[in-house]
Amino acid sequence: MKIVIANDHGAVALKEEIVRHLKAKGHEVDNIGVDSEESVDYPDMAVKAAKRYLSGSYDFGIVCCGSGIGISMSANKVPGIRCAQVFDLYTADMCKRHNDANFIAFGGRIQYQVPVSAMLDAFLAAQFEGERHQRRVGKINSIC
């Protein structure tokens, strides 16, 4: 898979961990995030990742900030992006199976109960179920 990832200063170490994990699994990762803890604005990073994803050559995107909240909210403002902030294996799986998430978000300052790598693997393994969920995703996409 080809994946775009972006982060702000609050998730540099987490982004590096994610990139290492995905590359070890054989995925191509386009790292457009920052590599220092010098302050940058997470909305800018979210929009940058969303626009790169929407260029059409990516399977999904990942965004990270300190909490994962602001960057996911920002990504969801871009038409065509369905970003889910995941916290465990259930949310990582279900955001793809039922909501066809094309972005996931994590927080670099969050103490997760489950390793982020395991959540990524759950997301990667999940398949959108379509059917009744397609109607709902269509409604999400139609919201202005």
CATH number of 2-142: 3.40.1400.10
Mean pLDDT of 55-80: 97
pLDDT tens digits, residue range 70-85? Answer: 999 999 999 999 999 9
- CA-to-CA distance for 82 and 29, rounded, in angstroms? 19
Q: Which two tokens stand for residue 64?
A: 């990270």
Q: Which among 41, 79, 56, 59 has a CA at the least distance from the CA of 5?
A: 59
Mind telling me the catalytic residues? 65, 98
pLDDT tens digits, residue range 14-26? Answer: 999 999 999 999 9
The full set of domain ranges for the chain reads 2-142
